[in-house]
């Protein structure tokens, strides 16, 4: 007897079980080789009969994705949705699009997959999904190759390009075609339309959809099988700020339910808000992997304090052992000190302060540092 | 089975199928009228034409005037364009996937690509057979009326006529497979449809003309048989009912057609299996 579709991790894994930085697997993976033996994983618990338990935390999803009544027959059941990429290589004529790439994506977290244009992100995702055949290496999802999954859409949902539907077919029929192929009831099409807020446009033809609506339809298609793993390629493309926020909330909720979320993007500020972990590649090779905070810390960027004052020397005199430099506009940039300490010191020294800001390194800075020198066009 | 359902839903949820069916039925009416006119003159040759006819041609006409041949000929009217539309539908079921970038979605739902091609072949074949049923349902009564009016008793119950009608159905189904093979080979929708239509119409005529010219010029009679390797002519041969003088037997046409369908289907499947989808 195989577990039902609903049977999966109940615990909100993100902070409670594997907090950033304390999960040994993430730390070790960041150093290179995936280490399975030390991994602390979120064990899925069969919760037959508790269909709506984990949905109740999710206002949108609860209403619509609530109990799928079908039981699942899977040859290869995904018990945990870990994605393991190992030595993946793809040549296109003379170009090595992906070159010996290895990384691990953990369940219960949103992982950002970053890299400059042409770094091999899309090729990698397509190799994970058996759409492009690698020259070397393997990619597995929950221990199985994609092609070996008996019910792939119930295990993995993917959003690959915005415009992937027949122009003359309605959005709803597009989803129904997929339902038929995956052996899902046609009613799932309507439920998924509801989930992404496309119900009013369900009977409109795809050619009348805006870019944002197309992206939502793609997400609906990915959610049809209520998959444990979601893979999205540049999902923010074409979404307006509200749509981006909607998607961020949705993906974080889905990750909170223990799902594996892998999102490629070039929108770094968006990734900083969304992702728990990042995998950064450039020129087809791995550059960095790990929790966002750790990757940023490893890159040697620590926070600085920016302060503007008419008497910088007096202020520096009041602060001991602080690294300082002059900013472009004459402001002081201090390291190894907090804004509170600077403020207190200024009060003691009787120095007026015109500006006092803590500056954190952002992902963009780190990304540019890490990928610098890797030629984008090969 | 669910893949066939999915493929059938793909056909049914766009406009192409009824446009093609309409086109096939419309051209069926034209083809039937033309055939009727043709046969009218076969049955009542104008006296002056009768004198100039060489004996070989007269033998063909005599064989055509046989009720069995006549009935088969009329009942399978519209085959030429019907098969073309089935082929085009087969092409479109494949090229749509690339044109609208739905191949990704399709192969995500079914990583086993051979099953997808088989499902497309079955769905296309079903479309072909439905079209065959519709055209046959129209031609049977029309043939009866036409032949009665010419003073000939139609032999719709004759085993050779029934064989011709059934083989016509097979042709309708197999042409979907040929179309799918072409669609895999030429992924561009416009490229595939135009190439296929030109080869089907102009190509068929050209091969006929070239072969006949060569036969006349070189006096190699065996060369005349080369033209039956063309799938469209083979389909026609297969459904001609009675054997006409100077033509191979009907089963040669059936073998040629099955051969084409198997080869295009296999090549299409192998290409689809190894191709990167991006």
Structural domain contains residue B171: yes
Q: Chain A residues with CB inside 8 Å of B9's CB?
A: 173, 176-177, 180
Residue ranges of domains in chain A: 24-298, 304-360
3-state secondary structure of A57: coil
Residue A178: both structure tokens together: 């997929």
The two domains A24-298 and A304-360 share their CATH topology (first three levels equal): no
Residue B93: both structure tokens together: 């079921």
Give the containing element (helix H, strand E) for A281: strand A277-282
Domains contained in chain B, number: 1
Give the containing element (helix H, strand E) for A357: strand A355-359
Model pLDDT for residues A33-74, shown as the tens digit of each residue:
333 444 344 444 444 443 333 333 333 333 334 333 333 333
Structural domain contains residue B35: yes
Instruction: Using a pLDDT cut of 90, give the percent of chain A over it.
Output: 31
Q: Residue A214 burial (CB < 10 Å; 0-12/13-18/19+)?
A: buried
Nearest Cβ partner for A178 among B100, B105, B112: B105
Number of Cβ atoms within 10 Å of the Cβ of A325: 10
Nearest Cβ partner for B100 among A149, A167, A181: A167
Number of Cβ atoms within 10 Å of the Cβ of A17: 17
Mark yes or no for CB contact B108/A180 under 8 Å. no
Structural domain contains residue B210: yes
Residue B53: both structure tokens together: 């006819």
Number of Cβ atoms within 10 Å of the Cβ of A224: 23
CATH class of the domain whose range is A304-360 = alpha beta
Q: Chain B residues with CB inside 8 Å of A161's CB?
A: 101, 104
pLDDT at A137: 94
Mark yes or no for CB contact B13/A221 under 8 Å. no
Edge-to-edge strand list for the sheet holding A304-308: A323-326, A332-335, A304-308, A355-359
Distance CA A155, CA A165 (A): 22
Are A363 and A269 a contacting pair, CB within 8 Å? yes
| pLDDT mean over A266-282 | 85
Structural domain contains residue B33: yes
Least confident of A77-86, A100-109, B183-192: A77-86
| pLDDT mean over A316-323 | 80
Mark yes or no for CB contact B2/A132 under 8 Å. no
Structural domain contains residue B278: no
Q: Chain B residues with CB inside 8 Å of A147's CB?
A: 111-112
Region label for B265, one of left (φ > 0), alpha (ψ between -120 and 50) or beta (otherwise): alpha
CATH class of the domain whose range is A24-298 = alpha beta
Q: Looking up tokens 């050779």, which residue turns up?
A: B160
Mark yes or no for CB contact B101/A161 under 8 Å. yes
pLDDT at B222 over 60: yes
Mark yes or no for CB contact A158/B14 under 8 Å. no
Which residues span the domain enclosing B37? Answer: 2-272
């Amino acid at each position: 007897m195989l577990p039902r579709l609903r049977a999966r991790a109940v615990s909100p894994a993100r902070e409670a079980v594997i907090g950033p930085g304390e999960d040994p697997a993430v730390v070790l993976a960041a150093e290179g080789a995936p280490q399975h033996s030390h991994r602390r994983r979120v064990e899925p618990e069969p919760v037959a009969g508790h269909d709506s338990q984990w949905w109740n935390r999710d206002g949108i999803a609860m209403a619509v994705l609530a109990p799928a009544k079908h039981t699942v027959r899977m040859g290869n059941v995904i018990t945990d949705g870990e994605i393991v990429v190992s030595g993946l290589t793809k040549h296109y004529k003379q170009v090595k699009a992906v070159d010996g790439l290895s990384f691990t994506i953990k369940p219960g977290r949103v992982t950002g997959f970053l890299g400059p244009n042409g770094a091999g992100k899309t090729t990698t995702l397509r190799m994970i999904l058996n759409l492009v055949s690698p020259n070397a290496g393997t990619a597995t999802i929950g221990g199985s190759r994609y092609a070996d999954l008996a019910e792939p859409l119930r295990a993995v949902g993917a959003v690959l390009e915005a415009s992937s539907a027949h122009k003359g077919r309605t959005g709803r029929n597009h989803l129904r075609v997929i339902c038929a192929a995956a052996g899902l009831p046609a009613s799932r099409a309507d439920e998924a339309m509801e989930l992404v807020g496309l119900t009013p446009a369900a009977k409109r033809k795809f050619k009348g959809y805006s870019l944002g609506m197309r992206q939502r339809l793609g997400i609906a298609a990915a959610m049809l099988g209520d998959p444990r793993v979601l893979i999205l390629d540049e999902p923010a493309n074409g979404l307006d700020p509200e749509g981006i926020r909607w998607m961020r909330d949705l993906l974080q909720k889905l990750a909170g339910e223990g799902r594996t979320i892998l999102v490629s993007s070039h929108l770094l500020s968006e990734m900083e808000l969304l992702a728990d972990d990042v995998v950064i590649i450039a020129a087809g090779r791995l550059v960095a992997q790990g929790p966002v905070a750790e990757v940023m810390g490893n890159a040697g960027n620590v926070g600085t304090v920016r302060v503007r004052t008419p008497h910088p020397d007096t202020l520096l005199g009041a602060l001991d052992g602080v690294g300082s430099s002059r900013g472009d506009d004459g402001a002081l940039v201090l390291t190894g000190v907090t804004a509170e300490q600077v403020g207190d010191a200024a009060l003691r020294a009787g120095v007026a302060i015109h500006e006092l800001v803590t500056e954190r390194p952002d992902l963009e800075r780190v990304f540019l540092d890490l990928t610098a020198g890797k030629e984008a066009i090969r | 089975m669910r893949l066939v359902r999915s493929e059938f839903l793909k056909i049914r949820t766009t406009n192409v199928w009824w446009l093609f069916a309409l086109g096939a039925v419309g051209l069926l009416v034209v083809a039937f009228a033309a055939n009727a006119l043709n046969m009218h003159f076969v049955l009542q040759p104008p006296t002056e034409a009768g004198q100039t006819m060489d004996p070989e041609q007269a033998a063909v006409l005599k064989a055509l005037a046989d009720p069995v041949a006549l009935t088969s000929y009329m009942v399978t009217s519209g085959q030429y364009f019907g098969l073309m539309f089935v082929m085009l539908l087969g092409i479109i079921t494949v090229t749509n996937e690339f044109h609208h970038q739905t191949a990704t979605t399709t192969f995500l739902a079914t990583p086993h690509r051979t099953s997808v091609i088989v499902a497309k072949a079955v769905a296309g074949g079903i479309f072909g057979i439905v079209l065959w049923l519709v055209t046959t349902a129209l031609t049977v009564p029309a043939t009866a009326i036409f032949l009665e009016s010419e003073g000939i008793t139609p032999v719709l119950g004759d085993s050779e006529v029934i064989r011709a009608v059934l083989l016509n159905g097979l042709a309708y189904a197999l042409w979907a497979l040929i179309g799918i093979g072409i669609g895999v080979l030429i992924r561009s929708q416009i490229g595939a449809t135009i190439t296929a239509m030109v080869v089907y119409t102009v190509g068929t005529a050209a091969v006929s003309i070239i072969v006949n010219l060569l036969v006349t010029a070189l006096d190699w009679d065996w060369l005349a048989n080369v033209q039956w390797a063309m799938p469209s002519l083979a389909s026609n041969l297969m459904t001609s009912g009675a054997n006409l003088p100077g033509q191979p037997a009907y089963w040669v046409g059936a073998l040629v057609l099955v051969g084409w369908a198997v080869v295009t289907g296999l090549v299409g499947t192998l290409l689809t299996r190894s191709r990167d989808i991006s």
